[in-house]
Structure 1
């Protein structure tokens, strides 16, 4: 005897399929996506890692090592923001080099805030931002614990990064090998702004879950922001996962990589 499928059952199946195929669910399940500005992103899953440099290394402001948990997945730019992408949003290019696929540089933190405001308006969202320092290191390490995501052998850095040993200026993004999570130029090319204020002793009392960085005294008018990853002029040791630096102003070696919250 043939079983009859009720209209109610069919309707339920259609409803469930429709829900699963809705734009929001499709977006949430993607490992990569490209927005209308042509910026490509990679999904970084939530997880835990050891942040900072081990004792014995010279990076005292990156000590002590401490366990960090990132509780929410997020999208991170596969590449550093390019001159072309910056110009399309801002209407003008801040950099001096001719190749539009080189990372934008010489942009201040205030410039980046305006860029993010305009990008979010263009995309009709409020989800584009800079990474926190913890998110940046978590993504750069890609599940590894060595000085670099490829190990401790600095002689291999040239396979992955434009730095003092192989470059005298910025280079087009994506020319070298990515890290295990598909992020290109996470070391070298340009330092990348993070949203955190810089605190030299911040790691000594840093929160262990989704840290947002040092919170300066409200009376302090000028507090530097964290920059990460090293730049084209940096020596190899300054292009490591743990190395921290900071800046108050735009420089020819500072650019940015975006994060997008998952809605």
Structure 2
């Protein structure tokens, strides 16, 4: 009896300690690990350390992102219409708690800093300059009597790896979270899901309410099903002579022809040779999920 009481007290103290470290109910603590992610996902990088993290259970929602838009006077985005019809702001995100999209890489980093400041954390990104807001950054312009495809200069963005503020996950962190950590890799949580529901989410012309599908073994929702998400990684593709406007990665999947029992998530991702880079100033079906250092 005394042993059971003792164990109950230990568990209570441990749970209070974890809660004290983070009072954000949309945030969960994820243990880091020394793990070679390239053994599971070949296009992960060669680093083997995953830090202890606080991870957002859900993607940033439309209503959360609108607080950012309102704060900086970027409300013109709400009039966004790509081609009319289905691809308008409200059709792409029909509910306040839909996963937010139409987020550029620049705005994702700026949003992380803004949220960090709002909540008393040290901003993780050093953004060297301001980029004047535009609904669409790419356009044809005349220069010296010739039409040129104009791409504005994006400010340089650097990461303060020691800051405790919000940031985008690295490529290794993203896939570690996607697989559900070591426990998820071991228990293959994805074999128990109805993959047809995930196919519908991934192929919809709109984002759904966050948390609509089953969480993975870490308690992270929608990381495999709703909006593609920006990650902290880059490539020289599309950079031309501009060392700042490197293409970035937005991770997302359109599931097709995988409606089989015992769906193998690792095999499915590993069949892809690489990720598709995006311009850091591109708007479209790109959203975000934040993490922050727990160390």
- TM-score, normalized by the shorter chain, greater than 0.5: yes
State the partner residue of 2:190.
150
Q: Structure 1 or 2: larger helix share?
A: 2
Deviates more, 1:176-185 or 1:121-130: 121-130
Gaps of 5+ in 2: 1-12, 79-88, 123-164, 259-264
Root mean square deviation of aligned Cα: 3.8
> Is 1:163 aligned to residue 195 of structure 2?
no
CA displacement at 1:34 relative to structure 2: 5.0
Asked whether the equivalents of residues 63 and 97 of structure 2 are also in contact (C-alpha less than 8 Å), the reply is yes
Shift of 1:156: 3.3
Give the CA deviation at 1:139.
Answer: 0.8
Cα-to-partner distance string for 1:54-100 (whole Å, 9 max, x where unaligned): 7xxxxxxx636777533520011100000111112331565612311
Cα distance in structure 2, aligned partners of 1:254 and 1:170: 10
Give 2:278's aligned residue: 247
Match of 2:28 in 1: 42
Q: Matched residue pairs, number? A: 208
Structure 1 residue corresponding to 2:65, chosen from 55, 61, 86? 86
State the match for 1:173 in structure 2. Answer: 210
Distance 1:195 1:66 in 2: 12
Q: 1:198 aligns with which of 220, 235, 246?
A: 235
Greater shift, 109-118 or 179-188, is seen at 109-118
Q: Is the 8 A contact 2:30 2:52 kept in 1?
A: yes
Aligned to 1:262: 294
Tell me the distance in 1 between the aligned counterparts of 2:226 and 2:31: 25
Match of 1:136 in 2: 174
Aligned with residue 51 of structure 2, among 54, 72, 84: 72
Q: CA 1:31–1:66 in 2, change beyond 3 Å: closer, same or farther? A: farther
Shift of 1:31: 9.5
State the partner residue of 2:220. Answer: 183
**Secondary structure of the structure 2 residue equivalent to 1:128:** coil
Take 2:189 and 2:277, find their aligned partners in 1: how far apart are those partners? Answer: 22
Q: Please say if residues 32 and 41 of structure 1, whose CA atoms lie closer than 8 Å, have aligned partners that are also in contact.
A: no
